[in-house]
Amino acid sequence: MRVARIVPETADVCSVHLDTADGTPLPEARPGQYLVLRVSVDGTARETRSYSLSSAPAADGYRISVKHEPHGKVSGYIHARLRTGDLVDVAGPRGTFVLEPGTRPVVLVSAGIGATPVLAMLHRFAAVRDPRPLWWIHTAHDRAHHAFADETQALLAQLPGAHAHIYYTAETPRPGEEHITRGRPTALSLAALGIPVDADAYLCGPTAFMDDVGGILRDHGLRPERIRTERFSALAAVNPGVAPTAAARPHQPSGPPGTGPLITFARSGITTPWSPARASLLELAEACDIPTRWSCRTGVCHTCVTPLVTGDIAYTTPPLELPGPGGVLVCCSTPTTEVVLDL
């Protein structure tokens, strides 16, 4: 896809608008889904990252919004070197954190750059004039770091049944800004917003933030299955029988580099060549200290099912039952082409 334009949102967040170079209609994305981008950062090595769509997609374009992380290789490239007219490899919209149809009230809760997928949901609400009662709750460091503030205000103004509350962790609200609180969401402050107990909630932000707010909402009376979350990092590890140790940052595997096809762990930001010395994709992930989820390691339990973004694999041990479409059992599979895993 072609970079149509780049729009700064705050000092450390920019939005990248993408369109097709030839006008080909794009697959429709559901609000909350993400794109997988592959870029050549240094002219040779290709890096893969996932970024949520941050607006309602048009037939001819998508928008993602990217925060410049202090040590982010790809986010740094996007902010410093990506230019209008550049071409970027993009895999179509994917992800299950999506706005579901229904009649129940909806609560959209985010912190920082976690606003992006729920902002796409807000765009859909406004576009179809969704009549469901809506609560928009966002936490930012301060006004200067509050991305999409004007955009969300304009969208909420189109929805008569909408409620909004903003938390600034490092700035006091101005006189008359009753919808802004200094601090973070608490049980008392969220209860005061009148959130119905039959609501569907969508949470996105740092893991600790989602754990805290999710717990508050459950205690408030929301059913756990109606509280959906989206994590931008890898999922927590599930490794039965392994004593927990301090988490290590994902890295390239030790030893001689492989000579096989490139394997990319999209959420962890690691791309490394496959080595036939590895028995499985799971073993490679463990060698990179990427959080993994497994139990049987023989293709039986399906604990290790991982979304396959692109590429093809072969099973070294035939699974008892194949995973669903788009999934792969990493415990007993090896790559036959370049592979990108949502891990």
Where are any strands of DSSP class E within the chain?
2-8, 13-19, 34-40, 46-52, 61-67, 89-94, 106-111, 134-140, 162-168, 180-182, 200-204, 227-230, 262-265, 270-273, 305-310, 313-315, 327-329, 333-335, 339-341
Cα atoms found within 13 Å of the Cα of residue 89, Cβ hemisphere only: 11
The reported pLDDT for the residue numbered 106 is 98
Least confident of 90-99, 201-210, 228-237, 286-295: 228-237
What's the confidence (pLDDT) of residue 22? 81
Give me the pLDDT at residue 44, please.
64
Q: What tokens does 62 get? A: 């998508």
Q: Of 337, 304, 298, which is closest to residue 318 (Cα–Cα)?
A: 298
Question: 58 - beta bridge partners?
Answer: 61
Work out the average pLDDT over 27-39.
89
215-270 per-position pLDDT tens digit: 999 999 999 999 999 876 555 555 554 444 556 789 999 989 999 999 999 988 89
Helix (H, G, I), strand (E, B) or coil at 284: helix
Question: How far is it, in rounded angstroms, from Cα 138 to Cα 2?
Answer: 31
Report how far residue 278's alpha carbon sits from residue 327's, in angstroms, rounded to the nearest whole number.
20
- The 10s digit of each residue's pLDDT in 112-166 is 999 999 999 999 999 999 999 999 999 999 999 999 999 999 999 999 889 999 9
N residues, the chain: 343
Report phi then psi at 86, rounded to 5.
-65, 150
Helix (H, G, I), strand (E, B) or coil at 270: strand
